[in-house]
Chain A
């Protein structure tokens, strides 16, 4: 079976619009959450989020009418990843793209509905369909780089990006492609996106405090993470710099409740990722948690981690307190955080920590980043619908 490595990464998120800025912010424990600024935000009861600020992407003006923000974020993150990987055009059918998104071009839906329902207009832009479709970010990346192999989108709510990366890994292992651009993109911070989440009563009004006593829920974020997954033989043959190995992937379903998490499903996904990576639990030196900051997730995830790792699990942090919960892109932002740990030996902290929660007995790297020797990491994603997707990465 071909080994798969990472040769490039790129990101746009509330902390920064590139990898160096994001690494610096994660290491500094900076928070990207602030007051929401989009249209009609004053009509929401929850008014904070991790928005991408001062967005002025360097994309061709003539193409912009085709690009919802979800596509813009993916294109900018993808360009950074491709440049880092040093890949030029010409992969053709041996290259592909699999990206996760939960809401796709939700702002395009919103703007169009507003036009016809609220403003009484009789027509919408002719480009609405190609803008809003979930596969738009993946397709535009394929066009930008001439990737003609497996290209599609994956949607599994908060696990979308991890499922996408797991499938990308499998394409290369199966010999279908040599290089896959993968990760996720999300642009849900618009009036309708937040209004929908408000109804579930799980959003925090003030801050995201994963695993901490006094946590009040999740905070939504926007952004994209795009990673270049490449067959190790292909990367070595062209002399590419290898950042880390994509060692394994595990996915399970709770087949239980549509929103309430089940620790057993999460634990089985972690065990499946370890088995796929031929890794023992003791090899793992850091876990990037799903860690949404809700009562239910954090309690369930802590139980699942202790089910897999026993009473002395490795350090666990949730970087969502910094970049927000980017829903279908969040796994990709968290993969970038894992690369900070793997390439620089920096464990990003769980900021906003106030006091240990006895229901979450974990070392959550509270508030301050930590230096550590990192050989292997897990990255968890658990979605509404009871879907669990866990990736295992190993240092190069």
Chain B
């Protein structure tokens, strides 16, 4: 089974909301195609955002700070995160 379109919209909204909370920005300032580095999220903000996504969706995100380029989970952009979260929800 794959994640439905409305579910993707919900994931995208959650990703933006969680990133916004870490960045102390209103969610509308984060574009749906934003890149994480351009947003200025630091390493602790990143692990807190990952934790928040795990708690929100009941998933475990395979992210190790020592392997930032890990292909298993693309944390570089909002679409990458949304796709990764959707895949993990599918596997749940």
Q: Which of B28-52 contact A (CB under 8 A)?
A: 42-44, 47, 50-51
Q: Is the interface of A mostly helix, strand, loop or mixed?
A: loop
Contacts of B47 in A (CB 8 A): 199-201
- Chain B residue at minimal CB-CB distance from A297: B66
- Chain A residue at minimal CB-CB distance from B62: A45
Distance (whole angstroms) from the CB of B71 to the closest CB of chain A: 14
Contacts of A293 in B (CB 8 A): 66
Q: Which of A194-232 contact B (CB under 8 A)?
A: 199-205, 215-217
- Known A-B contacts A45-B60, A258-B44; the reply to A200 vs B65 at CB < 8 A is yes
- Chain A residue at minimal CB-CB distance from B67: A216
A202 to B66, CA, bound (A): 6
Q: Is the interface of B mostly helix, strand, loop or mixed?
A: loop
Q: Which of A288-313 contact B (CB under 8 A)?
A: 293-296
Distance (whole angstroms) from the CB of A107 to the closest CB of chain B: 25
Contacts of A24 in B (CB 8 A): none
Contacts of A45 in B (CB 8 A): 60
B4 within 8 A of A: no
Task: Assess the B43–A217 pair: CB atoms within 8 A.
Answer: no
Task: Assess the B44–A201 pair: CB atoms within 8 A.
Answer: no
- Known A-B contacts A199-B51, A201-B50; the reply to A294 vs B66 at CB < 8 A is yes
Interchain Cβ contacts under 8 Å between A and B, 25 examples:
A200-B65, A201-B50, A201-B63, A201-B64, A201-B65, A202-B64, A202-B65, A204-B66, A205-B64, A215-B66, A216-B64, A216-B66, A217-B64, A217-B66, A258-B44, A259-B43, A259-B44, A260-B43, A293-B66, A294-B65, A294-B66, A295-B66, A295-B68, A296-B43, A296-B65
- B residues whose Cβ falls under 8 Å from a Cβ of A: 42-44, 47, 50-51, 60, 63-68
- A residues whose Cβ falls under 8 Å from a Cβ of B: 45, 199-205, 215-217, 258-260, 293-296
